[in-house]
Amino acid sequence: MASKLPEILSRIKPSKLESSETLQKVKKFISELDAKLRKNKISAKTLLGGSFAKDTWLKGDYDVDLFVKFPASYSGKDISALTAKALKPWKFRELHGSRDYFQIQDEIHYEIIPILDITGKVAENVTDYSYMHVELVKKQPLKIKDDIRMFKQLLKANRIYGAESYINGFSGHVVDLLVIYYKGFLPLIRALKTWKAKKVIDMKNTHKGKALFVLNASKTQGPLVLIDNIQPERNAAAAVGEYAFAKLISLAKNFNPNKPSLFEIQPVDFSSLAKKGKLIKAYGSHVEGTTDVAGTKLLKAHEKIISSLKDFGVIKTGWDFNAHTHQAVFWYLLKNLKLPLTYEARGPPITRKEATAAFKKAHKRTFAKKGYLWCVRKRDVIDAKKMIDKVIKQNSDRIQETRIE
């Protein structure tokens, strides 16, 4: 049976028309930004970066990275402030990182990153290496670029793409390096089946098999160590968590090139879930800060809610997050929607005299059962939806604009 990978690629790769029209809009924006830089007498030039520059972007995905590159003579100056000055005609968000950068949300979502030209020099800021990573991928043959698309889509469909704290998955840079290192998508899938925890990949054999001993221990805590091709002191995969690592190996072991569904984001089948228990959905958002901050805060709130629902009998939970709107949907499948007003709480063993005396003093009614002292306690909240609402209110710094169904 012929592989369906070519068919899958045709679904995820932008058409010539989509590429042409999108790049035309991007080039127009670059030209306008360069004009504003010149008008403000700023000697910098806007360069296309990310997956658009590498030609590895996916159909319908209009996240565009732009680098505003300053000459080395700007060393020591606030190039973020200068970039902001040129961006004044547009509505933008300023985000804080190792160096402040900017986002413009339009039909195309732009991320604008100021960098210094470090040709022949050591970078002042880790961001200054970013464009050099782009150059590595641009030199690759079309087959490798298409294979990067395939691998990226597989990770996206299975929700393990992205280095953000709320995902702890595989960044675009890690995707690029892995496909390049293994010389293609299918060779990478075959290699993944053999991976074990603390997998080390040193693309240029810089550390001669001693990467785990040479790198700072804080950079090798995760299950994957991928020595950066440009910064050998860096683990490019430091953000990859245990769940994403195990999920990827499982995907590889069960990979079937004739199952296009592996590459498709599957929506949660709420109607099927509702047949297996009591289903509650909660919607919320976090509007401030970066996508990473918003996603992490919403995930923390989700975890707090799960913990609060323990007595209701948690069967399964999940959540989905929109990185552009910072909105999330959480769902909780429970055994019960309501609980009795009172419950039995276990105290100390009856053999511990001092502890039992203190327990009896603290509670009006106590009784012995199975070698322990017990009491009857009253619940503050007996309704699962009200419990969720209570936790959301307690976490108003993490989750806003909520609705519970």
Domain at 142-263, CATH homologous superfamily = CCA tRNA nucleotidyltransferase, domain 2 (1.10.1410.30)
What SS3 state is found at 129? helix
- DSSP 8-state secondary structure symbol assigned to residue 264: S
The bridge status of strand 314-322 relative to strand 109-116 is unpaired
Closest by Cα among 58, 56, 31, 59 to 46: 31
Domain at 12-138, CATH homologous superfamily = Beta Polymerase, domain 2 (3.30.460.10)
* Maximum Cα–Cα distance across the chain: 84
The token pair at 42 is 């700023």
For the chain, what are the domain ranges? 12-138, 142-263, 270-337+382-404, 342-378
- In the prediction, which pLDDT does 173 show? 95
The mean pLDDT value of the chain amounts to 93
The fold of 342-378 is Alpha-Beta Plaits (3.30.70)
* % of the chain beyond a pLDDT of 70: 99
CATH number of this structure's domain 270-337+382-404: 3.30.70.100
CA angle, 214 as apex, 212 and 215 as ends, to 5°? 70
Least confident among 211-225, 296-310, 330-344: 211-225
pTM of the model: 0.87
- In the prediction, which pLDDT does 97 show? 81
The bridge status of strand 199-202 relative to strand 224-227 is parallel
Task: For residues 87 and 40, give the distance between their C-alpha atoms in angstroms, rounded to a whole number.
Answer: 10
The token pair at 36 is 């504003």
Q: What is the pLDDT of residues 66-114, one digit of tens each?
A: 999 999 999 889 999 999 999 999 999 998 888 999 999 888 999 999 9
State mean pLDDT over 48-76.
Answer: 94
| Whether the predicted pLDDT of 2 surpasses 70 | no
Q: Are 156 and 128 in contact (CB under 8 A)?
A: no
Q: pLDDT-derived band of residue 1, with 50, 70 and 90 as boundaries?
A: very low
The bridge status of strand 400-404 relative to strand 278-285 is antiparallel
State mean pLDDT over 242-253.
Answer: 96
Domains 270-337+382-404 and 342-378 share a fold: yes
